C-alpha cells in the first residue's frame, strides 16, 4: 500500500487517529511506543505509511491520546494474542473465514454417480452399455468409469474387493443377491440402483437384506 497524507480535522488531528491505529497495531506485538517529537513518518504494519506533522503541540496530543486509550490497546493486545483464540476462531470484530472442507470422492462414489447417470436405460441380457445393460454389465461399466476393471458376471463379483457388513454399507458398494445370480450397487439410505430384469430399466429400489449373499467394497 502506498504513502498516505493525513489531513487535520477541526477537533482532533488525523495524526492522532493514525497514532491510535499505530498504537493498537503495535500492541499486538507487545510494544506501545510514544510518538517522538521529530517523527516524520509512521509505518503501520499491514496498513501503510502515514505522514505525521512535526509540531510539538500535535505530537503532545498524539501521546496524550495514546495514554488515554492505553487500557483499550491492552485489551486488543490480549484479544489478539494467539493463545487467547481457539483454533479456527477469528479475532474479535473480524469475520471467521474457516477453510472449506473438501471430501475426496472414493471409487464407489464415482461408480455410483456413473450408474445413476444411466437411470432409465433399457435392460438387455448380456449388454454392457453404454445404452443398455444387464445387472453385472451396469456394475462393470460404472466401475470402469472410476478406473477399475471388474469381472463380467455377478458370480465372479462375489469375490472382488473386501467383504462389508450390511451395517457398514456405503454408497457405491457392490451387493450380490439372489444366490449369486444378481448384483446391484448400494445408493445410500437403504436403496440400491440396478438393472433389474427384462422389460425394465435401470432404476432405484429398496434393498432386501434377506436376499443378500455378500456385500463388497472396491477400492481404487
Q: Is the pLDDT of residue 5 over 50?
A: no
For 112-127, the pLDDT digits (tens) are 999 999 999 999 999 9
Round to whole Å and give the CA distance between 101 and 108. 20
Quote the pLDDT of residue 96: 59
135 catalytic? Reply is yes
> What cell numbers appear for 127 in the block?
449388454
Q: Is the pLDDT of residue 202 over 90?
A: yes
Which of the four pLDDT bands, split at 50, 70 and 90, describes residue 53? low
Q: Is the pLDDT of residue 82 over 90?
A: no
182 catalytic? Reply is yes
Give this prediction's pTM: 0.56
The percent of residues above 70 in pLDDT, for the chain, comes to 57
Quote the pLDDT of residue 165: 97
Quote the pLDDT of residue 158: 97
Q: Is the pLDDT of residue 128 over 80?
A: yes
Mean pLDDT of the chain: 77
Closest CA to 114 of 137, 86, 96, 94: 137
At a CB cut-off of 8 Å and minimum separation 6, what does 159 contact? 216
57 catalytic? Reply is no
Instruction: Give me the catalytic one of 58, 69, 135, 140.
Output: 135
For 179-188, the pLDDT digits (tens) are 999 999 999 9
Q: Is the pLDDT of residue 134 over 70?
A: yes
Q: Give the domains, in start order, of the chain with CATH numbers.
A: 3-84 (no CATH), 107-217 (3.90.1720.10)
Amino acid at each position: 500500500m502506498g504513502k498516505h497524507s493525513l489531513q487535520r480535522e477541526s477537533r482532533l488531528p488525523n495524526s492522532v487517529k493514525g497514532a491510535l491505529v499505530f498504537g493498537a497495531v503495535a500492541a499486538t506485538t507487545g510494544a506501545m511506543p510514544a510518538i517522538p517529537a521529530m517523527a516524520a513518518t509512521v509505518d503501520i504494519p499491514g496498513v501503510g505509511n502515514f505522514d505525521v506533522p512535526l509540531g510539538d503541540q500535535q505530537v503532545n496530543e498524539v501521546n496524550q491520546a495514546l495514554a488515554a486509550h492505553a487500557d483499550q490497546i491492552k485489551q486488543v493486545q490480549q484479544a489478539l494474542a494467539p493463545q487467547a483464540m481457539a483454533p479456527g476462531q477469528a479475532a474479535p470484530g473480524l469475520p471467521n473465514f474457516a477453510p472449506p472442507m473438501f471430501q475426496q470422492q472414493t471409487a464407489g462414489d464415482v461408480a455410483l454417480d456413473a450408474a445413476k447417470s444411466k437411470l432409465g436405460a433399457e435392460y438387455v441380457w448380456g449388454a454392457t452399455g453404454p445404452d443398455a445393460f444387464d445387472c453385472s454389465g451396469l456394475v462393470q461399466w460404472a466401475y470402469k468409469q472410476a478406473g477399475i476393471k471388474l469381472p463380467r458376471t455377478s458370480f465372479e463379483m462375489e469375490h472382488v474387493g473386501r467383504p462389508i457388513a450390511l451395517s457398514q454399507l456405503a454408497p457405491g458398494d457392490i451387493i450380490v443377491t439372489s444366490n449369486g445370480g444378481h448384483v446391484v450397487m448400494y445408493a445410500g439410505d437403504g436403496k440400491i440402483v440396478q438393472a433389474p430384469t427384462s422389460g425394465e430399466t435401470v432404476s432405484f429400489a429398496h434393498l432386501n437384506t434377506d436376499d443378500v449373499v455378500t456385500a463388497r467394497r472396491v477400492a481404487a
